[in-house]
Amino acid sequence: MSSPFYPPLRTLMGPGPSDVSSRVLAAAARPTIGHLDPLFVCLMDDVKRLLQFAFQTTNELTIPLSAPGSAGMEAAFVNLLEPGDKAIVCQNGVFGGRMKENVERCGGTAVMVQDRWGDPVDPEKVAKAIQTHPDAKILAFVHAETSTGVRSDAETLCGMAKSAGMLSIVDAVTSLAGIDLQVDAWGADVVYSGTQKCLSSLPGIAPITFSSNAVEMIATRKRKVQSWFLDMNLIMGYWGEGAMRAYHHTAPVNAIYALHEALLMLEEEGLKASFARHKANHLVLTEGLSELGLKLAVSEPWRLPQLNAVQIPDGQDDAAIRNALLKEFDLEVGAGLGELAGKQWRIGLMGSSCNTTNINRCLTALEAVLRQ
Amino acid sequence: MSSPFYPPLRTLMGPGPSDVSSRVLAAAARPTIGHLDPLFVCLMDDVKRLLQFAFQTTNELTIPLSAPGSAGMEAAFVNLLEPGDKAIVCQNGVFGGRMKENVERCGGTAVMVQDRWGDPVDPEKVAKAIQTHPDAKILAFVHAETSTGVRSDAETLCGMAKSAGMLSIVDAVTSLAGIDLQVDAWGADVVYSGTQKCLSSLPGIAPITFSSNAVEMIATRKRKVQSWFLDMNLIMGYWGEGAMRAYHHTAPVNAIYALHEALLMLEEEGLKASFARHKANHLVLTEGLSELGLKLAVSEPWRLPQLNAVQIPDGQDDAAIRNALLKEFDLEVGAGLGELAGKQWRIGLMGSSCNTTNINRCLTALEAVLRQ
């Protein structure tokens, strides 16, 4: 027989999950109520409103999907694409590649726009792809590439999609609440995120928002969405307006409690203040890293404050260093992902993890471990 | 600006979620650690072992999917079926119909075996369907129909599938831990469940198990699984053997803490003791309901102890009664679902909700409200 699991108190400075505050953990532990309870329905309405605030949108269809960010990505593609459709997909890291997988598994064709991992998406290449493939229905890209720590110019890319009559799908898993993300002002059509990054809630939920154009595209599909679980036509019946909600699946009630509390904390701080905190702490961290002789992998204008890609110095053993940080300092930093494995570390400053205490802990620990 | 959400303390006697114990809620609130943390990987191994215990199986591929039971159903079908495949689907309630949707959204053909809602699946009808459609690849049915409170004979049905060279898909969302479910002894191939029924953990996770025949069918598919998120070929890389786990998605860490604790409680009680508790309390409840003049909708041999379908007496207002139970007694009982809406209530005795205190509370409340 096993015994209960008591996790250690880690400092989470990887690519997510980030530190979950005691407020959010306490919310998660409140008594479970039914997913159709009138009081839960009120909570759902408040979560929708708070997500609209976080996404800077008035989109009616703005909800938390009952599954992780990867399912948010899949929801975007399966709802918008039909077999035979073409999508332009920008790849400058791992998650652009995952978008390609999603397009193809929907029976669509992905036109790839490739950029070096570590660079932002190049709008000029995208313009050429749009010119060559005016029949594409979708332009998809990652706003904040979690695998490389790079921001791309979402405003410009969404504008290009709109001018070309295409809908945009934006991966905002790592950007939401960490850097500016103006869904309405930029004209983004489907934007999804995760709860375990800059929102610092429990992992496992995917906030997502759909523009009216996206909703219309879903409503006028020729074929049913291939996923029953992610079919927005059905999910709207549960998360839609009015007190009567149609049963679709059992919502992850306690994870929604936690998300609500995390969103309240964001509202209390304010979006601009949150962005400023991420930026300011990022500058403190990068200065400290520089003093340790560590180099950032991304050029300054495109760095994500919430996720800092650091080049592993020659001669240092990637796994040994990360293990030492974890075992001696209870500090998690991220490994490189995909082709960057072994070459970079990813130091997160996301949401509740983004504070000076964590930065000092991280710099002290790195200094000690790199000297060993 | 909104305020924190403090849910009332409901007594959950609907079709799920069931009451979540303070032990499980406390586990959910422990500090979040990384989904690739070596200690989390150890926890994953223990959760797999405990799920094997609960499913009564030695299947290696026995894991909790990071999404609700409906996604468990979808995972079963998208992984096993390819376009053009035929599946025999038994329907005696809402969830058989959902299986049909899943088959068709995979590009497959569903041969339906219909039984009256409230009756079990009729093995003779299934035998005829197998005879008429020997080319079907799958036989799918619901072990415990959550919409009707009916048990079907899973052992016989799995045996018929095996004899016919078909694989079986078994919906055990409501049966796991409430009534006997012998995955290995009965030769079931894919069996999925939910955490919010007789396990009484947080809603949002789908335990699932695959036989070696099912794993082989997945490994030898001609086409990729249409869902990236639910592709078991990829998920196995994260939940598989060995200390090195490939990143697939960020696991819902705290929901796994909760599930682990709920499974520990099941192990401490023992499976047979849990089944006996559900049975004994069911008999106490049905006796009390009978004294109130309420009739059960399902014939005795096929009643689920954990979910009691009760006929709404003539002249009683379904919604008014349930609202009064909720508002005056903080008691949730389930409405009828699908064609049974307005005709039946569903009184759950699942997991932590299955105790004499709850039964007394329910009978007292029903008596008071029905008299009003």
Q: Where are the domains of chain A?
A: 11-16+271-371, 22-267
Which residues lie below 8 Å from residue A328, measured CB to CB, with a gap of 6+?
A365, A368, A369
CB contact under 8 A, B267 and A9: no
Q: What is the pLDDT of residue A1?
A: 63
pLDDT in tens for each of the 372 residues of chain A?
689 999 999 999 999 999 999 999 999 999 999 999 999 999 999 999 999 999 999 999 999 999 999 999 999 999 999 999 999 999 999 999 999 999 999 999 999 999 999 999 999 999 999 999 999 999 999 999 999 999 999 999 999 999 999 999 999 999 999 999 999 999 999 999 999 999 999 999 999 999 999 999 999 999 999 999 999 999 988 887 765 678 899 999 999 999 999 999 999 999 999 999 999 999 999 999 999 999 999 999 999 999 999 999 999 999 999 999 999 999 999 999 988 999 999 999 999 999 999 999 999 999 999 987
Angle of helix B356-371 versus helix B318-329 axis, rounded to 10? 120
Q: A71 to chain B: which residues are within 8 Å by CB?
A: 67, 71, 229, 249
- Cα Rg of chain A (Å, integer): 21
Q: What is the pLDDT of residue A244?
A: 64
Element (H, E) at A144: strand A144-145
Q: B106 to chain A: which residues are within 8 Å by CB?
A: 226
CATH of domain B11-16+271-371: 3.90.1150.10
Of B19, B37, B229, the CB nearest to A67: B229
CATH of domain A22-267: 3.40.640.10
Query: Which residue in chain A has the smallest CA separation from B248?
Result: A70
Best CA proximity match to B68, nearest among B218, B187, B199, B169: B199
Distances (CA, A) of A125 to A2, A64, A130, A149, A196: 55, 33, 9, 21, 32
Q: Does the beta carbon of B221 lie under 8 angstroms from any beta carbon of chain A?
A: no
Q: What is the pLDDT of residue A246?
A: 82
Query: Which residue in chain B has the smallest CA separation from A104?
Result: B226
The 10s digit of each residue's pLDDT in A152-205 is 999 999 999 999 999 999 999 999 999 999 999 999 999 999 999 999 999 999
What number is the ipTM of this complex?
0.97
Q: What is the pLDDT of residue B244?
A: 64
The 10s digit of each residue's pLDDT in A20-51 is 999 999 999 999 999 999 999 999 999 999 99
Dihedral, B91, B97, B100, B101 alpha carbons, nearest 10: 180
Q: What is the pLDDT of residue B131?
A: 98
Q: What is the pLDDT of residue A214?
A: 98
Query: Which residue in chain B has the smallest CA separation from A197?
Result: B250
CB contact under 8 A, B37 and A326: yes
Of A66, A196, A247, the CB nearest to B337: A247
Which residues lie below 8 Å from residue A329, measured CB to CB, with a gap of 6+?
A11, A361, A364, A365, A368, A369
pLDDT in tens for each of the 372 residues of chain B?
689 999 999 999 999 999 999 999 999 999 999 999 999 999 999 999 999 999 999 999 999 999 999 999 999 999 999 999 999 999 999 999 999 999 999 999 999 999 999 999 999 999 999 999 999 999 999 999 999 999 999 999 999 999 999 999 999 999 999 999 999 999 999 999 999 999 999 999 999 999 999 999 999 999 999 999 999 999 988 887 765 678 899 999 999 999 999 999 999 999 999 999 999 999 999 999 999 999 999 999 999 999 999 999 999 999 999 999 999 999 999 999 988 999 999 999 999 999 999 999 999 999 999 987
- Can you read off the two tokens belonging to residue A74? 């899949």
B 253-272 → A contacts, CB under 8 A: 253-255, 257-258, 260-261, 264, 267-268
Query: Which residue in chain B has the smallest CA separation from A73?
Result: B229
Q: What are the φ and ψ backbone dihedral angles of B152, each rounded to 5 degrees?
A: -110, 165
Percentage of chain A modeled with pLDDT above 70: 99
Q: Does the beta carbon of A311 lie under 8 angstroms from any beta carbon of chain B?
A: no
CB contact under 8 A, B28 and A332: no
What is d(CA A180, CA A182) in angstroms, rounded to the nearest whole number? 6
Best CA proximity match to B210, nearest among B66, B76, B83: B76
